[in-house]
Structure 1
Amino acid sequence: MKSEAMKGSRIRIKPINVIGLFLILVALGYIFFWRPRSGPEESKRVDLNQLLLTAVQAAERGGLEVVAVRQSSSLVQSSKGKTKEGLNDPLTEGDMRSHRVMSSVLRERFPDVNFISEEHDEATASSLQTLSGKHLAMTRTSEVQVRKELLNLTPSAVFVSDPADLTIWIDPLDATYEYSMNLTEYVTTMVCVAYHDKPLLGVIHRPFHQETYWGWVGTGVSTSVKQARDKAAVDPDTPKVIVSMSHKGAVEQVVHEAAPEAKVIDGAGAGYKVFKVLDNTAQAYVHTTAIKKWDICAGNAILDAVGGVMTTLTGKMLDYSSQKDPKNLDGLLAAATPSRHEEYLKKLSPKLVNH
């Protein structure tokens, strides 16, 4: 009897079960067929906050190598050749060890971003592994400070969707000639990030002073840059123009003719000279011979971030895109304010025609 009753029974599906099943099928269809998926473009987008933090880390860790080599007196110096002015263009172990560490730090975290360095050498895994613990320990305090400063400037992350729009420029050791002569006052390590052709992020680290300066155009600058600008509140009675001590060319004569009221002072390394413009030791930085873009990109970014200006001596903005020649042949003029830049550009331009 029981089996016959079961044979005659039918399963009834309630309307609410049909609706639930339909909704489940729709949800599965959305997940597998219609939902937008994070394609390669989204997965490769670049977090600019993290990129700036990494740039600071790279510059400071490269600086540790620069100091270590100088203190060991094992420079292992060679020559790249002669400069236009006839001076030796040296290459030291400090250049190469800094390059290896800086490029490794940046390329590991941002492999899809265009990358240009003054030096060309691949890091060996063994050399980096032996140094990584020391680097992390010695730069941790600085990294915490940068994170705090970035949090105040940009509470939420800022992204660039296509890494191909960015170019990282690094100078593992600026003022190598002076470094080889133990004139460490002028030495810097630098990282710059350009967006399309314009400088966006700039980091200048002074390894023998343990000072780091950075700027993010349109967003803000480090506390160290603010402090340097605070010192620059009062202009000196006699304006000063800073020029290169080892690449002078005709620049000293040009400045004397164009601005006889100004005192010409010299310094080494583009990073150092930009710093002297930032703190108002010099009111302008002038360079009349060829200069590489990895020497000037970081300083250009920081100047832009504080409202300053850096151009060629013809008044053109510099192009930092990866496709362009890394050498700038048109000279350089930098000032901390647009009005001062315009003043010196007007004074210098007529004189440059004759040189």
Structure 2
Amino acid sequence: MSWRWSPASVLILLVAASVLLFVLYGLTAAPEVSSHSADSAMSATISLRSLLCVSLLAARRGGIEVKNVHEKLIKNVKSKDGSLKNPVTDGDMRSHHAMLRTLKDAFPHLKVTSEEHDPEAESQYANVHVGPADIACPEEVSKEIPDDTNLPVRDLHVWIDPLDATQEYTESLLNYVTTMVGIAVNGKAVAGVIHKPFEDMEDQQTFWAWKDHGISPNLQPPTTSSSSNIKVIVSRSHSGDVDEVARKGFAGKSIEVLSAGGAGYKTLEVAAGRASVYLHTTKIKKWDLCAPNGILNALGGRLSSFDGDEIDYSPGDAVHRGGVIAAHVDHAMYLDIFTSLSATSFRFREDS
């Protein structure tokens, strides 16, 4: 018995073959399309001036959350279950979400690193109100920075600190508290925003700078050497270690060791000339340093490790080890003094 193909059988066979070929093509072509889309996204350019302006917005929005949480703590405002929330966790997390979402809403493909958080804890803050993403620059920035630069998004990495000076935050030493956004290009800090949410005067709340482009009007750095009257600013938690080393290094000179909280606050004191040099001898997270580093670089100062190396803000290890020396002027002098002393006078500790 011979088999005869009917027109209907031929049509069904052709349709089935077409479907099979379509599915096979989709399976093999999909990764290529996805990869191409990812490459296109990462090669897209971002306006650095717009990124700086969104960073200002992010820092201020984070500051609002930090301030609101503290005010509720003072008023003993309880959560829905009747318990008092941990002020650091609540303030940090709400600020983290506000800042991260502001940046990612404006620039979806931007690489942003914030403090590491528990995913389960993060889900509790998904309802934090952020507001629309706005890349328009306020007059305070456009007036100081008339020119712009566009760079591929793959070259950019942003580090955010949603609550700097957490210990001081719990102690209501609020002048030390800041929210910060640091912008790095190919691993180098080029711009930074430091916001003081508890500062009384509005025009003194937010400090920003972009290397070779402009600085905020409230940043008025000193222009002369401070070597005649040395003021070393260090963390409140380990001022004694650096005090001894500093006095050895500047024997015979007038020296004062100032203790303060928060890398952002200490850097602003250096930028304003109220401190000569900021020293840190323990490990520290890079989100604590990127914004301060960007601001000092823009002011013509320098922030380095004790061996003189620049800090790399590329994605990867978030911990910096090897100490910090930050100064607006005379950085080379401080580096020479403290590098020679650090090997014999103290060891870098792992506590922060």
Q: Name the TM tier (shorter chain).
A: 0.7 to 0.9
Query: Hey, what does 1:101 align to over in structure 2?
Result: 98
Q: Work out the CA distance in 2 between the residues paired with 1:234 and 1:353.
A: 26
Change in Cα spacing, 1:123 to 1:336, as seen in structure 2 (3 Å) is farther
Matched, 1:115 2:107: no
What's the counterpart of residue 291 of structure 2? 298
Matches for 1:171-182 after TM superposition, within 5 Å: 171-182=161-172
The alignment status of 1:347 with 2:340, answered yes or no, reads no
Divergent runs of 4+, >4 A: 121-126, 232-237
The yes-or-no answer on 1:215 pairing with 2:209 is yes
Q: Give the secondary-structure state (helix, strand or coil) at the position aligned to 1:40.
A: helix
How far apart in 2 are the matches of 1:42 and 1:245? Answer: 42
Distance of 2:303 and 2:93 partners within structure 1: 29
Cα distance, 1:76 vs. partner?
2.2
Q: How far apart, in 1, do the equivalents of 2:150 and 2:124 lie?
A: 31
> Displacement of 1:158 after TM fit?
1.9
Q: Distance in 2 between matches of 1:295 and 1:42?
A: 26
TM-aligned CA distance change 1:220 to 1:97, over 3 Å: same
Q: Secondary structure at the match of 1:229?
A: coil
Q: Give the partner amino acid of 2:65.
A: E
Q: Which residue, 319, 327, 335 being the options, matches 1:327?
A: 319
Using the TM superposition, give the Cα deviation of residue 294 of structure 1 relative to its aligned residue in structure 2, in angstroms.
0.4
Give 2:187's aligned residue: 197
Task: Note if contact 1:104-1:123 (Cα within 8 Å) is conserved in structure 2.
Answer: no
> What is the CA-CA distance between 1:125 and the residue it aligns to?
8.1
Percent identity over the alignment? 38
- Offset at 1:124? 6.6
Q: TM-score, normalised by structure 2?
A: 0.75
Cα pair 1:249 1:288 within 8 Å, conserved? no
Q: Equivalent residue of 1:132, what SS?
A: coil
Structure 2 portions without partners, runs of 5+: 1-38, 78-83, 347-352
Counterpart residue identity of residue 335, structure 1: A
Change in CA separation of 1:244 and 1:109 when aligned onto 2, cut-off 3 Å: same
Deviations 1:200-220 (A, max 9, x none): 220000000041000101111
Please give the TM-score of this superposition, normalised by the length of structure 1. 0.75
Task: Give the Å deviation of 1:112.
Answer: 0.9
Tell whether the 8 Å contact from 1:277 to 1:285 is kept in structure 2 after alignment.
yes
C-alpha separation between the residues in 2 aligned to 1:288 and 1:244?
Answer: 9
Q: Which residue of 2 aligns with 1:307?
A: 300
RMSD between aligned residues? 2.6
Q: What is the aligned length?
A: 289
The residue matched to 1:118 in structure 2 has which SS? coil
Matched residue, 2:72: 72
The alpha carbon displacement at 1:126 in A equals 6.2
* CA deviation after TM superposition for structure 1 residue 333, in Å: 0.2
Q: Where does residue 86 of structure 1 map in the other structure? A: none
Q: What is the alpha-carbon distance in structure 2 between the residues aligned to residue 257 and residue 43 of structure 1?
A: 51
Q: Are 1:244 and 2:235 matched, yes or no?
A: yes
2:94–2:125: 8 Å Cα contact kept in structure 1?
no
Residues 63 and 206, structure 1, Cα contact 8 Å, conserved in 2: yes
Structure 1 residues 331, 45: closer, same or farther in 2, change over 3 A? same
Q: Kindly tell me: are residues 65 and 332 of structure 1, through their superposed partners in 2, closer, same or farther at Cα, counting changes over 3 Å?
A: same
Task: Summarize the Cα distance change of 1:42–1:239 in structure 2 as closer, same or farther, 3 Å threshold.
Answer: closer
The structural deviation recorded for 1:154 is 4.0
Cα-to-partner distance string for 1:188-229 (whole Å, 9 max, x where unaligned)? 00001100110122000000004100010111111111xx32
| Residue of structure 2 in register with 1:25 after alignment | none
Structure 1 residues 132-171: aligned runs within 5 Å: 132=131, 147-161=138-152, 163-171=153-161
CA offset digits 1:119-178 (Å, max 9, x no partner): 42546786234x639xx9xxx9xx99x6324333443542112x1211110000000011
| Alpha carbons of structure 1 residues 156 and 352: separation in structure 2 relative to 1, 3 Å | closer
Asked whether the equivalents of residues 144 and 216 of structure 2 are also in contact (C-alpha less than 8 Å), the reply is: no
Tell me the distance in 1 between the aligned counterparts of 2:293 and 2:94. 25
Deviation at 1:114, TM superposition (A): 1.2
1:208 aligned counterpart, secondary structure: coil
Q: CA deviation at 1:44?
A: 2.7
Which residue of 195, 202, 206 maps to 2:196?
A: 206
In structure 1, the gaps of 5 or more residues are 1-38, 79-90
Q: Is this contact kept in 2: 1:247–1:289, CA < 8 A?
A: no
Q: Which one-letter code corresponds to 2:323 in the other structure?
A: G
Query: What is the Cα deviation at residue 277 of structure 1?
Result: 0.2
Deviations 1:49-72 (A, max 9, x none): 111110000000100111101111
Question: Within 2, Cα distance between the matches of 1:198 and 1:264?
Answer: 29
